[in-house]
Amino acid sequence: MSESRALQLETALRDAGVRITRQRKLLLSVLADCADHPDATELHRRAEAAGAGVSLATVYRTLTTLQAQGVIEKLEFQGEPARWEPADQHHHDHMIDVETGQVIEFTNDRIERLQAEIAAEMGYEIVHHRLELYVRRKPTA
Amino acid sequence: MSESRALQLETALRDAGVRITRQRKLLLSVLADCADHPDATELHRRAEAAGAGVSLATVYRTLTTLQAQGVIEKLEFQGEPARWEPADQHHHDHMIDVETGQVIEFTNDRIERLQAEIAAEMGYEIVHHRLELYVRRKPTA
DNA sequence: ATACCTGCAAAAAATTTGCACCGAC
DNA sequence: GTCGGTGCAAATTTTTTGCAGGTAT
């Protein structure tokens, strides 16, 4: 399943003129298995753990390439190194639990619409946006 | 005016146990004059331009101190160095014109409320948030 | 007088890049 | 075979820190 997802991407990338090297294959498979939002160093660690070698420089270059192809997305939370996630079909925002560091994804159409309205009112259109809620679990009274 | 604002802050800071040094006075006055959102290097440049000297290390340390005192706020836009703004009485979000880099401040109560609702629905309370709209001027058809 | 602050220069942390070699197509 | 990709190590960029001396209170 995540196996086939990675293969699917390889075809699409090749069609887009991106060469499928051993390192890229490896990173695609590591990314396909991500349930979380790892940074470059962590992805490098996982890739190495998966057996084959990749240099950290190549990890960075590959992430940039895959982002340009729309395959992954870059997340830049407060002051941490950049994290990455497979590009999803549906846009979503992020909630970060400040205690645990856990990242929760969510969507809300009303917020999306309001953002577009606000921009439009001021004569702009949205290219992209970033909404992050830094939260704490509510005390269960 | 911005003169008195800086003096006002000096008193408050002193009361909070923060020593008012020549360098901090200088930075407070530079910050009070900011209509924009400069980064540490830019603040350093302006401070030097204002006559007296400050080391960049001190600029960084002072910014951290002032942030801890709630006097200024740190902005971290996409991949750029951190920028700073005087802490305002009223919270606001930011719109960044991707063509010009211009930063526009805005507020929207409905968005604020929706955010709180979303967090609450999932059992969280918001500690703080970040909403950035990266926008482009709409073609005036 | 005593902390706390500052400058300098070195260290860190994250990411990028030059260059020679290698491998996908 | 060609052109783009990779590894390595060095460079960049932004920010932090150790230490010796300075200064606000």
- Which domains are delineated in chain A? 2-86 (1.10.10.10), 93-135 (3.30.1490.190)
Interface contact B127-A104, CB threshold 8 A: no
A11 touches strand C (CB under 7 A): no
Q: Give the long-range contacts of residues A49-52, CB within 8 A, separation 24 or more.
A: A50/A26, A52/A22, A52/A23, A52/A26
* Residue B48 vs residues B32, B36, B41, B43: alpha-carbon distances, Å: 15, 18, 11, 9
pLDDT tens per residue across span A30-58: 999 999 999 999 999 999 998 889 999 99
Of B127, B132, B135, the CB nearest to A124: B135
Q: What is the CA radius of gyration of chain A?
A: 17
pLDDT at A1: 54
Give me B97's structure tokens: 């014109």
The per-residue pLDDT for B2 is 60
Q: Summarize pLDDT for A106-129 with one digit per residue, the tens.
A: 999 999 999 999 999 999 999 999
The H or E element containing residue A26 is: helix A22-32
Query: How far: B22 CA to D23 C1' (Å)?
Result: 10
What's the pTM? 0.89
Of B56, B61, B66, residue with least CA distance to B29: B66
Q: Which residues of chain B register pLDDT less than 50?
A: none
How far is residue A34's CA from residue A66's CA, in Å, rounded to a whole number?
15
In angstroms, the separation between the Cα of residue A14 and the nearest Cα of chain B is: 29
Please say if the pLDDT value at position A61 is more than 80.
yes
Mutate to test the interface with B, among A118, A121, A128, A140 (most CBs of B within 10 A): A118
Residues in chain B: 141
**Predicted local confidence at residue A72, as pLDDT:** 96
